Structure 1
Amino acid sequence: MKPIEVLLLSRTDILALELTPQQVVEAVEQALTEHAAGTYEMHPKIGVHPTGTDPANFIHAMPAYLKQLGACGLKWVAGFAKNYQRDLPNVTGLQVYNDTATGVPLAVMECGYLTGLRTAAVSAIIARECARPGAATLALAGCGFEGTMHLRFILDQIPTIREVRLRDIRPAAMHDLKERAGKYFTGEIKICEDNRSCFDGADVISTCTNGDEQLVRPEWFLPGAFAVGIEGGCAYTAEALHSADKFIVDDIPLAEYFDKLGRTRLTEDGQPDPEFPGGLPEIYATIGEVVTKRKPARSSDTERIVAIPIGMAICDVALGHLTYRKAIEIGVGQKFGLA
């Protein structure tokens, strides 16, 4: 029988590919388009929850198949919010990319960096679609790895932004991101010492936190604003979340599944920790439906819109497809014999 060789891609290898925001956005949009068309196979995330260090710890298995793209794979990803105390990244894992004709694994790649790219791309895409015309102010909470990615991608997709407000419980993280962002953003970057000065009146709000605190209040989430959160609805008070005129998710079964999980979840001190404070709002559309114009994004300049992407495996597979093809093209990575 023919030998099977698998390409191994480390984070260093993936960084060497120099994937641009535009390349990542195009790959992710392919997945969102297939989601709207129904040409995919994906199930709600299954996982285990080793909660010894934090009740929100998870390790998820995320398989998916995109029929039009011809891409298939599985992401095995862990999220441990307190890993920073061990000088480790919060998100770690592996992604397997398979050949759809034979099922043979073609590549195994580090998925922490790719997850950051994918998550930021989805947020930036829906922000581009839903931000009101001329949106000029971006409020970003969470200045770690995900926040860094979100800032870069949202600025790429909404070029009208002229002011960025940064908020993080770690002053050093805000100052570090301000310095790095200043190399590619010519507008004003403000360091915010409290939540109000960050969010109040912002055109676009992006929350990239661990979800421990309900940051966004309704009196700061003004008419016409758009907000996107990667921690479910956990960064919003119930009043702010349910003040949205339109509520958008990436996948309805995923949102309903995480809403169900959150109903019995507790914080470290035993308090309720719902995925969506006040319950899951009525869903207006999926991100794919908005991107493909099946449903209009914004109907007026005064609508408040919230988008909560839970995280779809089809987007990871689409990005894995791009990563594998680029790695083969330029000769990055190491091959090992599987059989």
Structure 2
Amino acid sequence: MTDGDIPLRVLSTSDLAGLEIELSDVVSVVEQAYRALADGVSVTPPKLTVKPGDGRSVSYAMLGRDGAREVVAIKTSYKHGLTLDRDQQHYYTALTLYDDTTGLPIAMMDCGRIGSLRTPAVSALIARECAPPGARTALVIGTGVQGRLALPFLLTTLPDLDRLLLSGTHPEGIAAVREQLAAHFPDRELELVTDLRAAAAEADVILATAGPHTPAAVEGDWLKPGALSVLIGYGIQPSTLHRADRVIATSAAQMAVTGTDMADADGKFPAVDAEFPEVIAGRARGRTGAAERIFAYNSGLVVTDIALGHRFAELALAQGLGTEVSLWR
């Protein structure tokens, strides 16, 4: 067989939507990806970013190799209409996987569901490693894609949480958060908060997942001693970073590139005390004191997309899903 005879299997949004996967399985896959990166068997070069001067769009390209699975992949994402409401924006993301043992393509897939699972799984792992001892209260800010599974994943890694707070403004998003919580943890209740400052002062863990137009703006001096704040999207102010006792980042380099809105007036960041892959591998500590206020920056690393995308490809191929395309003929 020549390269021109090798088809590429394309997995669409609908192909992936019906695949069942346990939240604990997602957490395990993501954790393994971080361990492989910390062990030096995986590679994740800095992402490439393109953004026009008028800020209408942003696009990224991320190449990586998962050494544990021996898979090479490239992820691309493009979002248009950054200044528009969410329902007027256009967003496309795709992942192409190659088997680095055979040299053959595995699949190209929509990466939307992968991202919607990978990111809250990472936040849940950060919370497991960095939340204060005896954490009982979690606050999620935002009800978009990243907010809707935030609490179910948090409960997967921190099952002793017993107060689940939500700050959101979109009725359909709030309903979706309730639906996901009921689907995964039907015995848990959700509290919708109206006083964000009071809620932030009570929270042991805060996940900021909102979109750029959110009115939510938690300040660093609102947080109680020991609180963990995790930035995924928007909803917390730069003071939560600059007044933190300890700073954790999934990648310090990516934080410097994609987290510029959290820099100080001189464009600078506090030093990152530990990168999260090293924390997962046990080579660095997430928390060094019960009263530390910790800021964590959760930016996507492509190795986690690769690992979870490969898991989805395994499930999809086992069920015969997807369409074969003769791309190279």
Identify whether the pair has TM-score above 0.5, normalized to the shorter chain: yes
Residue identity matched to 1:32: Y
Counterpart in the other structure of 1:270: none
Counterpart in the other structure of 1:61: 61
Q: Deviations over 1:253-277 (max 9, x none)?
A: 2223335xx3xxxxxxxxxxx2434
Counterpart in the other structure of 1:110: 110
Residue pairs, 1:305-324, within 5 angstroms: 305-324=294-313
1:286 deviation in Å? 0.8
**How much is the aligned-residue C-alpha RMSD, in angstroms?**
2.2
> What CA distance in whole angstroms lies between the structure 2 residues aligned with 1:180 and 1:34?
30
Residue identity matched to 1:101: T
1:51 deviation in Å? 6.5
Counterpart in the other structure of 2:21: 19
Residue identity matched to 2:263: F
> What CA distance in whole angstroms lies between the structure 2 residues aligned with 1:257 and 1:171?
33
- Sort the Cα spacing of 1:335 and 1:147 in 2 relative to 1 into closer, same or farther, 3 A: same
> What CA distance in whole angstroms lies between the structure 1 residues aligned with 2:176 and 2:147?
12
Contact kept in structure 1, 2:229 and 2:240, CA below 8 Å:
no
Residue pairs, 1:164-313, within 5 angstroms: 164-183=164-183, 184-212=185-213, 215-231=217-233, 235-258=235-258, 262=260, 274-277=261-264, 279-313=268-302
Residue identity matched to 2:27: V
> What CA distance in whole angstroms lies between the structure 2 residues aligned with 1:330 and 1:124?
29
- Paired residue for 2:33, among 31, 45, 65? 31
Residue identity matched to 1:18: E
Secondary structure of 1:96's counterpart equals strand
1:298 deviation in Å? 1.9
> What CA distance in whole angstroms lies between the structure 2 residues aligned with 1:275 and 1:129?
23
Contact kept in structure 2, 1:63 and 1:313, CA below 8 Å:
yes
Greater alpha carbon shift after TM alignment, 197-206 vs 73-82: 73-82
- Sort the Cα spacing of 1:141 and 1:51 in 2 relative to 1 into closer, same or farther, 3 A: farther
> Number of residues paired by the alignment?
320
> What CA distance in whole angstroms lies between the structure 2 residues aligned with 1:255 and 1:56?
22
1:295 deviation in Å? 1.2
- Which consecutive unaligned segments of at least 5 residues does structure 2 have? none
Contact kept in structure 2, 1:117 and 1:149, CA below 8 Å:
yes
Residue identity matched to 2:292: E
Counterpart in the other structure of 1:157: 157
Counterpart in the other structure of 1:94: 94
Contact kept in structure 2, 1:205 and 1:228, CA below 8 Å:
yes
Q: Which contiguous aligned blocks of 4+ residues in structure 1 show a shift greater than 6 angstroms?
A: none
Counterpart in the other structure of 1:4: 6
- Which consecutive unaligned segments of at least 5 residues does structure 1 have? 263-273
> What CA distance in whole angstroms lies between the structure 2 residues aligned with 1:275 and 1:104?
41
Contact kept in structure 1, 2:149 and 2:180, CA below 8 Å:
no
- Sort the Cα spacing of 1:114 and 1:171 in 2 relative to 1 into closer, same or farther, 3 A: same
Contact kept in structure 1, 2:59 and 2:76, CA below 8 Å:
yes
- Sort the Cα spacing of 1:28 and 1:257 in 2 relative to 1 into closer, same or farther, 3 A: same
1:241 deviation in Å? 1.7
- Sort the Cα spacing of 1:201 and 1:315 in 2 relative to 1 into closer, same or farther, 3 A: same
Secondary structure of 2:229's counterpart equals strand
1:247 deviation in Å? 0.5
Contact kept in structure 1, 2:250 and 2:298, CA below 8 Å:
yes
Q: Deviations over 1:196-254 (max 9, x none)?
A: 243222011001012445611123211111111113xx533233222211100111222
Counterpart in the other structure of 1:331: 320
> What CA distance in whole angstroms lies between the structure 1 residues aligned with 2:68 and 2:179?
41
> What CA distance in whole angstroms lies between the structure 2 residues aligned with 1:118 and 1:180?
16
> What CA distance in whole angstroms lies between the structure 2 residues aligned with 1:194 and 1:56?
33
Counterpart in the other structure of 1:44: 46
1:284 deviation in Å? 0.8
Contact kept in structure 2, 1:241 and 1:277, CA below 8 Å:
no
